[in-house]
Structure 1
Amino acid sequence: MSLAAFLSRLVDTCQRHARMVAAIAGIASAGLGVYTANNIAIDTDTANMMAPDLPWRQQEAALDRAFPQNANLIVAVIDGATPDLAEDAAERLATALSERLGTPDGPFLSVRRPDGGPFFRRNGLLFLSIDELREIAERTIESQPLIGALVADPSLVGLFDVLGQALDGIERGEIAADRFDRPLQAIAKTVEDELGGRFAPLSWQTLLSGRTPGPLELRRFVLIQPRLDFSVLQPGAAATATIRTTATALDLDPAHGVYLRLTGPVPLADDEFASLSEGTGVATVLSFVLVCLLLLLALHSWRLILAIVLTLLAGFVVTAAFATATVGALNLVSVAFAAIFFGIAVDFGIQFAVRYRQERHRIDDLSEALRRAGASIGPSLTLAAATTAAGFLSFTPTDYAGVSELGLIAGFSMAVALALNLTLLPALLVLLRPSGEAGAIGFLWAAGLDRWLAARSGPVIGGAVLVAAICAILAPRLDFDEDPINLKDRNMESVSAMHDLASQPDTTPYLINVLAPSLDMAQQLAARLEALPEVRQVVTLAAFVPENQAAKLAILEDLALVLGPTLEPAPNAAPRAAPDLERKLAALVAALRQGNQASPATDRLARALEAAQARLNREPGVTARLERALLSALPGQLDSLRAALTAGSVVLGDLPEDLRATWLAADGRARIEVYPRDDARDPAVNTRFIAAVRAVAPDATGAPVTLLESGRTVVRAFSVAAVSALGAVVLLLAFVLRRVRDVALVLAPLGLSALMTVGIAVALGWPVTYANIITLPLMLGIGVGFSIYFVIDWRAGEDRPLQSPTARAVLFSALTTMAAFGSLALSSHPGTADMGKLLAMALTATLIAVLVLLPALLARARR
């Protein structure tokens, strides 16, 4: 029995027992749906998408095992309007979050400050250069009268009193006037801002140091390791929500001069999943509407559409159950099996339905039309399903676990789609009983195109060869963007914060980690790494032991000798009465106005204080607001200064345990951080940086290595899979078609469309990414199927391909798939939009190759 006869009999059996077939399908779908809903899982850990036995993955895992507290972090980036605000906000947030530690089901595993805490408060000045420390010491000694007066009376009265004394000193020539310009300007600005309703408290750190704070002085970090739940779409959502709630309760917001952003691996991944789900909403609705309209245009019957949709849903449930049973937890690539299934399975349904319509037009008998459709289109569908499945299954033996699992599931789904379109679909059509077909199904208007392509097949083929050659020349220029950060929405907080950190050499996440057997060996290795021209700096635990301590401690001892008694807190004095404040304020304004050393600074402060005077009696809260704005940061700065004056000699054993644990493992291995000299976000820079470091430390790991190696793994996996898939398809086609010419006819349009897709992507500057690389297997499945339908029809005697029902089925199948996936280009998520654009372009190239080149090749072959 021939394949056509077998499939005709299969369709006939299913239509004669339509109710039973539909009932079995319904019961099976319901049962498998319940099983899938109760057991399917999504593994959102992107690290699991790569084979764990890859050398770079093993190095990555070794680092995580040695320093588990550095993996899966939330980085709280805290920017303050002043250094004082940034430090205070970071300390309060870290303290509040640390109170949530210790509970078995708490949201956090650890909370730490890499740039703060008692150790750095006491010894922070030792990390400055000798010249920087000497300058700060000199300015602090110059400020001793101011400090002493404010320690004795830390109120507005005390502040105005000491300012008045300073002005007297300037008048007598004892103090240089220019020394007080910056403090007076700063105080004036604070008063102006507070009276204007702007929160901008005075920075006593800046005032006492006399230096303009740099970006790093206005920024602090808190590192939080959350308890992750990989069974949900956003594993770190609970921890993130707790951090934000805590920050709100602490008034860490722009209204209070603090800007908090969460970034790091966990927020980036969570925001990505949220953006994906939100960004595809409009695209999904639009896709559904367009698909329905195109199906209606292709089939002209809601009964046919309903039958196809029900068949698709049944097939999807069966495939999802298979995925659940074999893979278990789907990853972010293998979850795309649904898109691939719908994209290709709908083609099978359209092909069968259009062929049924053609036969129904010839003989107005539903049962006979279904039998004939099974006999005529069944072999083509079987070959298309077999070649597509073979192509997908070729993806399974790769190191990219995401694609390997996708290949397994998608390969099985092709068998499901074929089986259901030849069994369930005919049964549903019998039950729904669509009406007969009054007119021809093909495109009669395409007769002229058939004749034109046949008459000019030579030039058409020549043009296709020229286009292919040009695209082949462009193909080597196709880029692969290995950095997934570029697929994310820059408007998301976690992404913008990460770009901000990456733009600063001292906070870039694009740094390499190296594990050394011991700290001594780490130091030796660090010296060799630091000599590399590609490296800016190298950090080990030893970097937290300050250099030149003797000289620096001597400076601090001198400072403590002079300043120590001044910092001793005075006994609590009674609050100064309002008249004292008004009297001191009036005296200060008078001194500012009447002095002989007038300057823009004194004039500005006088105007600001006069405005405050005018509002003191009218607005009772003004005094408290001014005191908060001018003096709230003073106690913390005085405490920091007292702590800094107690600094002592630091050795490795003095370092805090949490700091040591992030650099020195329990087994003695030491971690080395290597920073790039140039911006490692540039792929060329990153490649050179990694090559240089690996020449010294072959086991180097970290974000740059992960980006480079994961990109190479993906490209290698797809390259090997593409060659394997093509080989499997060629062998299967050769076995079935038995003619080299016919195999070439099937593959030629696929080759042209692939080259056109690559060439246009290069011309438009579209790189291949982790998201849009999925175009390859989808294009393979659809492209091979389209060519097979035309070639088998041609072998059966069809010499008017564009007028045939197959052309109608192919066109609307491609348009339906294009609508389903091309609408993703409207997504706000850059990765999803890129995938939609490339898929739409690939399908357009496939249509051109199949509907223009293939008819010309068939006409030439017939001659």
Structure 2
Amino acid sequence: MNADLSSLVEQQGTWVDELDHLNQTFPDSGNVTLLVTSADPAVLKSSVSDIAKALNDQSLVHHVFAPQILPWFEEHALGFLSQQKFEQVKQSIEETVRPAAVAAQANSLELYFALLAESESPNLNPLLKATEDNRVDWPSFFQEDVTLPSAYAITLVADADSTATEPNRAIINAIASSIKQADLPASINVQVTGQAALDFDEIADANNSITVAGTASLLGLILILAVGIRSLRVIIACYLTVLVGLAWTFAAGLLVIGHYNTISIVFMVMFIGLAVDFSIHLCLHIQELRVKGESNEVGMRHAIAHSIRPLSLCALSSALGFLSFYPTAYTGLGELGIVSALGMILGLIATFVVIPLFFTLFGYPTVRHQTDTYRFAWFGSQLIRFKSLIFTLVVALTLVMGYGATQFKFDFSTLVLKNPKSESVLALNQLQQEGLAQAINYSPSQKIKNKHKSGKRVWRCNRLSRP
């Protein structure tokens, strides 16, 4: 599975050259971001330092950047306050420090009291503190107007293992090991996002989703065959044919393309629904000829001879339809078309190989000379009886659906392709809500070409809003 969304879009155009220039100008962009939060801000900063130190000890981590704990940000903290918060601090300084500074310069305690009396809201806390301890800790009064941050961000550059089935698992494991090594307090919460985490969650989610969807499709297929055919041998033959054709298509897709992405893997569900039609058609034609009195072997040969041309035409037309996906700049969609087209051809071949072989080895289904068509005849009579009403409803529904189709809008955000409940996406949303990454560049085709990563997309934090 290839979770790199850059492979879903053709990497050609002016925007690619401009992006390469941007990446060369700013080469040290992190591919992992940690969001560290706590209800107790007092222990948060030291915990972030411990995490950063533990991450630096990891061999696959090349660069760790935790700007909020750097001394420079502490020295210039006022420059990162919002205008409203800065005005509050300025006013507090004027009301608290100015009277004391002017009085100290004049060496006059009376002047200090006079200036306090002139203030609309005099701050008497320094005076009370001086009477108790004979000294005043002025910075402590300023900190009362500045709340400590409840969230910190750490970005890092780490190498994925391109030879592994899940390339980013080593990064996620290393981060988990570093968090454990830091021995954080229970109040500290660490969330992981960034490109590596998003890709890791996407592969895991794709594997889980395709397992659920494939299993549901196969179980639904059994149910449909059981209700519609009611022959155990035919059900097993059709089911086995679908599984064989599915395995062939998986292998063919890997041979032709070399990988599956989060779009092309959907072929599995499509194949199950389409390829089984070939098997049902052939099996029922065999049954029909045997009901007419032909022997098993003769009925098999005649059914194959009669069905191979129309079923081949169906498979070819379906394959051509899927191949129409190929000439597009959306590479992921084109790969889906190629794999699905291969699936139609291989599903047809599997039908004419597996079903005759299965019936020859395990016997033919029992011939039922009497068929129950009562329910179908009743349904047909009801259609004729209420044809006017049905036609009116169809026209009305078509108009409503047609209007709904005109409201179609394309969502250009590639984040909609990811599971919104995955840890990495939740952490990304939380990161933006905390104001730590108010300008994050994210593109399905972002690449970075440097000593750290090659051909991988990155997250770039342009501005950290808090010191």
Q: TM-score range by the shorter chain?
A: 0.7 to 0.9
User: SS of 1:312's equivalent?
Assistant: helix
Q: Where does residue 46 of structure 1 map in the other structure?
A: 5
Indicate the residue corresponding to 2:273 in structure 1.
Answer: 343
Q: Does 1:412 align with 2:342?
A: yes
Matched residue count? 416
Deviations 1:330-359 (A, max 9, x none): 222122222222221112112211222222
Q: Does 1:176 find its partner at 2:124? A: yes
Q: Indicate which of 493, 496, 513 corresponds to 2:426.
A: 496
Give the corresponding residue for 2:69: 116
Unaligned runs of 5+ in 2: 101-122, 130-137, 444-449, 451-459
Shift of the 436–485 alpha-carbon distance from structure 1 to 2, 3 Å rule, reads: same
Q: Secondary structure at the match of 2:336?
A: helix
Q: 2:54 aligns with which of 93, 96, 102?
A: 96
Q: Is the 8 A contact 1:334 1:406 kept in 2?
A: yes
**Mapped contact 1:93–1:247 kept (Cα < 8 A):** yes
Match of 1:68 in 2: 27
Which residue number corresponds to residue 666 of structure 1?
none
Whole-Å Cα distance in 1 between the matches of residues 27 and 182 of structure 2?
Answer: 29
Deviation at 1:416, TM superposition (A): 1.6
Is 1:224 the counterpart of 2:183 in the alignment? no
User: In angstroms, what is the RMSD of aligned CA positions?
Assistant: 3.7
Q: Distance in 1 between matches of 2:128 and 2:318?
A: 80
The 1:479/1:511 distance shift into structure 2, 3 A limit, reads: same
> Displacement, 1:241?
1.8
Larger Rg over CA atoms: 1
Distance 1:341 1:280, change over 3 A: closer
What pairs with 1:143-162 in structure 2 (closer than 5 Å)?
none
1:328 corresponds, among 258, 261, 285, to 258
**Structure 1 residues 456 and 493: CA distance shift in structure 2, 3 A:** closer
Q: Conserved in 1, the CA contact under 8 Å of 2:3 and 2:202?
A: no
What SS does structure 2 have at the residue aligned with 1:88?
helix
SS at match of 2:248: helix
Tell whether 2:184 aligns with 1:252.
yes
Residues 344/235 of structure 1: CA separation in 2 closer, same or farther (3 Å cut): same
In structure 2, what is the equivalent of residue 696 of structure 1? none
Evaluate the alpha carbon distance shift between residue 342 and residue 176 of structure 1 in structure 2; reply closer, same or farther with a 3 A threshold: same
Q: Report the residue type matching 1:48 in the other structure.
A: S
CA shift, 1:292, in A, is 2.6
| 1:451 CA displacement | 4.0
> Per residue, is there more helix in 1 or in 2?
1
After TM superposition, give the deviation of residue 57 of structure 1 in Å: 4.5
Check conservation: 2:56, 2:63, Cα contact below 8 A: yes
Q: Following the alignment from structure 2 to structure 1, what is the Cα–Cα distance between the partners of residues 179 and 461? A: 33
SS state of the match for residue 93, structure 1?
A: helix
CA contact (8 A) 1:233 1:270 kept: no
Write the distance in 2 (CA, Å) between the matches of 1:274 and 1:252: 27
- Cα pair 1:360 1:369 within 8 Å, conserved: yes
Other structure's SS at 2:192 match: strand
1:93 partner amino acid: I
Task: Find the aligned partners of 2:405 and 2:256 in 1 and give their Cα distance.
Answer: 37
**Cα distance, 1:118 vs. partner?**
3.3
Displacement of 1:393 in angstroms is: 0.9
Q: Pick closer, same or farther for the CA change 1:377–1:458 going to 2, 3 Å.
A: farther
Specify the alignment match of 1:355 in structure 2.
285
Residues 246, 220 of structure 1: alpha-carbon distance in 2 compared, 3 angstrom cutoff = same
1:317 to 222, 247, 272: 247
Aligned equivalent of 1:572: none
Task: Report if the CA contact (8 A) 1:358-1:440 is conserved.
Answer: no
Unmatched segments (≥5 aa) in structure 1: 1-41, 101-105, 145-174, 182-203, 514-660, 662-670, 676-863
Q: How does 1:358-373 map to 2 (within 5 A)?
A: 358-363=288-293, 365-373=295-303
Q: CA deviation at 1:414?
A: 1.1
- Matches of 2:91 and 2:294, distance apart in 1: 100
> Are 2:212 and 1:295 aligned?
no
**3-state DSSP of counterpart to 1:221:** strand
- Find 1:238's aligned residue among 170, 173, 180: 170
Q: How far apart are the structure 2 equivalents of 1:490 and 1:362? A: 57
- Separation in 2 of the partners of 1:85 and 1:460? 70
TM superposition shift of 1:435:
3.3
Q: CA deviation at 1:396?
A: 0.8
Q: What's the offset of the Cα at 1:300?
A: 2.9
- Measure the CA separation in 1 of the matches of 2:204 and 2:300: 46
Secondary structure of 2:167's aligned partner? coil
- TM-aligned CA deviation for residue 45 of structure 1: 0.9
Q: Take 2:195 and 2:3, find their aligned partners in 1: how far apart are those partners?
A: 12
How far residue 505 of structure 1 moved from its aligned partner, in angstroms, is 5.2
TM-score (norm 2): 0.76
Q: 1:313 to 1:290 in 2, by over 3 A?
A: closer
- Aligned equivalent of 2:409, options 458, 479, 482: 479
Of 396-405 and 452-461, more deviation after overlay is shown by 452-461
How far apart are the structure 2 equivalents of 1:368 and 1:405?
Answer: 41
C-alpha deviation, 1:321, in angstroms: 2.8
- Compared with structure 1, are the counterparts of its residues 475 and 317 closer, same or farther at alpha carbon in structure 2 (3 Å cutoff)? same
* Per-residue CA distance 1:246-267 (angstroms, 9 max, x = gap): 22222224x2x32211112222
Letter of the structure 2 residue corresponding to residue 317 of structure 1: A
Structure 1 residues 48 and 488, CA gap change in structure 2 (3 angstroms): closer
Q: Look up the match of 1:464.
A: 394
Deviation of 1:61 (Å): 4.1
The 1-side partners of 2:356 and 2:420 are apart by 49
**1:217-259 CA-partner distances (Å, limit 9, x unpaired):** 2221110122113454543221222222222222224x2x322
In structure 2, the residue matched to 1:849 is: none
Cα deviation for residue 500 of structure 1 reads: 2.0
1:751-790 residue pairs with structure 2 within 5 A? none
Corresponding residue of 1:542: none
CA apart distance, 1:301? 3.2
Letter matched to residue 89 of structure 1: S
> How much identity, in percent, do the aligned residues show?
23
Measured against aligned partners, the alpha-carbon deviations of 1:159-200 in whole angstroms (never above 9, x if no partner) come to: xxxxxxxxxxxxxxxx9369879xxxxxxxxxxxxxxxxxxx
SS in 2 for 1:438: coil
Q: What is residue 843 of structure 1 aligned with on the other side?
A: none
The verdict on how the C-alpha distance between 1:287 and 1:84 changes in structure 2, with shifts beyond 3 A counting, is same
Shift in Å, 1:365? 1.8
- Contact (CA 8 Å) 1:262, 1:493: kept in 2 or not? yes
User: Normalising by the residue count of structure 1, what TM-score does the alignment of the two structures yield?
Assistant: 0.43
